[in-house]
Structure 1
Amino acid sequence: MLYVPPKPAELAKLKANQNKTSSEMAELTGSTESRTWRKSTGGERTISAQTLFFLMARLDLAPKEIERVLNRMRKVGAHINLSVSGESET
């Protein structure tokens, strides 16, 4: 797989176009920290392909479609609840 991450300005534009806060964007990526998103838009770090994929899925797919994927994850043993913040369950 070839992946070139978006530039920080492109991520900032995405955030603005979505009318979201840094906290909301971080939450959509699965992070609980708004500074994680700000680091990506400030050029301190790049956004991984997996994180960007998850973000775009949450922005573009219907909740029913997201739930279908989460259910497949659960079938292989994952414990996941997008409405609960914090680390994974063990």
Structure 2
Amino acid sequence: MARADEAGGGLLGRVTSRVTGALDLNEILSGIDLNELLDRLDLDRVLARIDVASLIDRIDINALMERVDVDALIARVNVDEVV
């Protein structure tokens, strides 16, 4: 696949970029029960892998905060490990 990508002048990279740019993360998030999702995730492990700055740039934080039980989220995150 790498050779096909090189031969296409980075076609795979361009397609991936267009698909990623076309995703409406707010629309995707609106269809997810975020509280149920948070209950199922190992948040410490997930947070360690997320590029938080990039994520914040792509999500409407105000819309997200309206849907998340912030107190429950704070209770689940070990702040000492995140910082």
- TM-score of the superposed pair, with normalisation by structure 1: 0.26
In terms of fraction of residues, the more helix-rich structure is 2
- TM-score of the superposed pair, with normalisation by structure 2: 0.27
Task: Choose between structure 1 and 2 for higher RCO, CA contacts under 8 A separated by at least 6 residues.
Answer: 2
